[in-house]
A and B are shown apart, each in its own frame.
Chain A
Amino acid sequence: MSVIAIENLVKTFGGVRALDGLDLTVEPGEVHGFLGPNGSGKSTTIRILLGLLRRDSGQVRLLGGDPWRDAVALHRRLAYVPGDVNLWPNLSGGEAIDLFGALRGGLDPRRRDELLRRFDLDPTKKCRTYSKGNRQKVAIVAAFASDVELYVLDEPTSGLDPLMEAVFQEEVRQLTQGGASVLLSSHVLAEVEALCDRVSIIREGRIVESGTLSELRHLARTTVTVETGRPVTGLTELPGVHEVRPVDGRVRLEVEPEHLDALLTHLVRFEVRALTSTPPTLEELFLRHYGETIDSDRQAPAGGTR
């Protein structure tokens, strides 16, 4: 049974359709990357999963239950790190961690101390004096010290430095080794590439792409650069080959993955001397879905499009 199963989810705020038929599935034990720019509906989806917002229509199952109706029972089995962590200004960080742990159903004190040490967080400071990164650490420590089945992380590392980012990634791996599932909303693509088993890309309230990274790569073109003894001809007539252009005596082109084999068969006739093939990066995948938005934003008159 899936940890998270969302079908055709719709949520509107006034006249704005924040979620427009969203589908999302997270399987047990996986780290699922949830990618999309600000305002695409990531946090709204997460708030519906947490029973904070009511869905207008669609099916949502979380750990086998209804996130709105069974909120309290489900919340014992998950931990949440918000993107923008706000805390009680007059409580110390340590008190806030213990409080969140207790309200969730208890935390492991040894794990808590280990996490405090690893994230280099001083628990005696009052929450009002913490920087954004330190407030995020408080939420991360409180969540990771809880032994739960699902971790819902909404842009958890936006305030962390690279050192802490590395610690964060190690800790997430440790969680999944214990069998937990993670929904990781992020726009740090390197983090998603490093951690996630599967990725869903959201755009304007819908999932536009979902799958493992290699599956997603199969949907995008591979860049091939080839150096041959004789000039290559007939490339543009090949199916699935695009953007052919000469570069420093070599030829660079993009090819759809299913036509790679035909391309290689064609190329060997021209005495191949060197050949590199680069699969698309996550960034390229991401921009493929958002490129047109960016372009149209650029062309739009000042004042924005949204």
Chain B
Amino acid sequence: MSAFTGTGRLTRLALRRDRIRLAIWTLGSPLIGYALAESVASIYPEEQNRIGYAEVANTSVVARAFNGPVASTDLGAVVVTETYLTLAVLAALLSTFAVVRHTRQNEETGRAELLGAAAVGRYALLTAALVVVVGANVLSGALLALAFVGAGLPAAGSVAAAAIVGVGLAFTGAAAVTAQLSVTSRGANALASATVGVAFLLRATGDVLGQPAADGVRLVSAWPTWLSPLGWGTQIRAFDDERWWVLTLPVALLVAGVAGAYALAERRDLGAGLLAARRGPARATAGLLSPAGLTWRLHRGALTGWAVAVAVLGLAMGLAGNEVDDMIADNPAAAEAIAQLGGGAELVDAFLAAMLGLFALTIGAYVVQALLRVRGDESDGILEPLLATAVSRYRWLGTQVAGAVLGALALMLLAGATTGLGYGLAVGDPVGWTVDLTGAALLRLPALLVVAGVVTALLGALPRLSVASSWAVLIVFLLLGQLGAALDLPQAALNLSPYTHVPSVPAVDVTVLPLVVLTAVAAALLALGLTTFRRRDTPT
């Protein structure tokens, strides 16, 4: 029996377990790509429109930070820029979670032990996971290339653009290693997701620090971009002068990661990790001994991570705010783009408001993630003994909602304060701007309350669908907020998102009515969630 015996069977098992996820993954990216290609083609039909777009996108700090550089004024390059962040981060996270699900999670749950006792080699589980994830990335990339060709883009560029899957391959390698290091799948996912976060920051930094090329349209990214797998995907320069050799970078990282993972797997016991499990206290401190204390304990790690990321991003964006005026002084198209996101007349205010809007959307993900823990605990059987104690269901779910909302509030205030501090430092009024933007950030909270209300209602009324539908709702809010205007959606559709209604301070004045209405909607949703949670069977 070789170390790989059983890989084929385990691969089929993994395909069977993930058949729905994999179908959504491999078909989802091409569909998103096709839809956006069509929409971009209708918005920027002429070369002239696209030159304007590229000039704005390559000068705007925000656009550079989030979307990366525009490779050329070709229609395809605009499509790539508009789709890159979504597709690349999706590929990175889906690959990460899939690798961990089929390796460390199997060990954690004891399934790997059962399999290992059968005629299954030492490397088979890892190899099967890699085959499935690499296969899914390649297939999804091939379909994406076809989708771009189908949307009428040139073939070579389409193939290069589909190399977004390279990002997935690179993070497949990273996750293969983290799955060996951490003894829990949660820990392995957190480590791998953190590498995605670092990769994003590196690429954003490199692109923000980038210099315009001689032609005034293209952007030459600075060196940090080259340290990031998320940067490599943009540096292929699809639909420009494709640099195919860049593709070797993610493949090299995949090979290195896989080799490292095999070496680690060879040296450790089943179920063990390299990061040793630490011991804990023999007695609980008084602070833990309540639903609120437990909730804080369970969420403080994630909240700290979020806080660090928000603070770094806030400072960076605030500091960048000072460049907006110089940068866009003679570029009306860019000014209009920012005004569209942020609203109002003052360019800097619009920029800062747009940043706070982005923070509010992102922190919505924290709310969803924190609240969905209720469902995770229910599926894992942790909720059952807990609800068999003298803690009412209202109190338990209410504590979870309060924890998620207070966490979101803290993150939002931090986002406002750091953005304000960054901008204030740049313009010489740190205290004033910190206070102003902290207040402005606070006004976004009602939108986050609605997100919490939606998730709570889903947890109570549709527990089995709550995980998928909560994320779906947040993604719809995100799409309506970020692409709604670009896609020319009717106002009725945009109104579905609570983020449409929070006043875009400091770009516009405060209006109280929408805040009151949003809070009322959130309260109604929370009441619905608490009541249905009280009335239903657990576990369901």
Contacts and interface: CB of A to CB of B under 8 A. Distances in A.
A129 B276 CA distance: 11
A47 B282 CA distance: 30
Interface in A78-122: 78, 80, 82, 84-95, 97-100, 102-105
Given A99-B294, A125-B279, A71 B392 contact: yes
B538 A104 contact: no
Interface string B246-281: 000000000000000000000000000000011111
A188 interface: no
Contacts of A61: none
Contacts of A242: none
B283 to A, nearest CB: 5
B459 to A, nearest CB: 16
B298 interface: yes
Interface in A27-49: 47
B280 A88 contact: no
Most buried by B among A53, A103, A104, A129: A103
Given A71-B392, A80-B385, A89-B186, A126 B281 contact: no
A236 B387 CA distance: 58
A54 interface: yes
A182 B167 CA distance: 58
A75 interface: yes
A125 B291 CA distance: 22
B507 to A, nearest CB: 42
Interface residues of A, number: 42
Nearest to B383: A52
A52 B388 contact: yes
A54 B381 CA distance: 18
A52 B538 contact: yes
Most buried by A among B280, B288, B389, B390: B389
A76 B389 CA distance: 7
Nearest to B385: A82
Contact of B282 (A80, A105, A123): A123
Interface in B375-397: 380-382, 384-393
B282 A54 contact: no
Nearest to B281: A92
B183 interface: yes
A72 B392 contact: yes
B280 A126 contact: yes
A265 interface: no
A128 B294 contact: no
A122 to B, nearest CB: 8
Interface of B: 108, 183-184, 186, 277-284, 288-291, 294, 297-298, 380-382, 384-393, 535-539
Contact of A52 (B186, B294, B387): B387
Contacts of A52: 384, 387-388, 537-539
B382 A94 contact: no
Nearest to A73: B390
A124 interface: yes
A293 to B, nearest CB: 27
A50 interface: yes
A139 interface: yes
A25 B278 CA distance: 46
A62 to B, nearest CB: 12
A192 B261 CA distance: 49
B277 A91 contact: no
A87 B537 CA distance: 20
Contacts of A93: 280
A85 B281 contact: no
B112 to A, nearest CB: 15
Contacts of B278: 126
Given A94-B281, A95-B283, 14 more contacts: A47-B384, A52-B538, A71-B387, A71-B393, A72-B392, A85-B381, A89-B184, A92-B280, A95-B284, A98-B289, A123-B282, A125-B277, A128-B277, A139-B385
A104 B279 contact: no
Given A86-B382, A88-B382, A128-B183, A95 B288 contact: yes
A104 B387 CA distance: 10
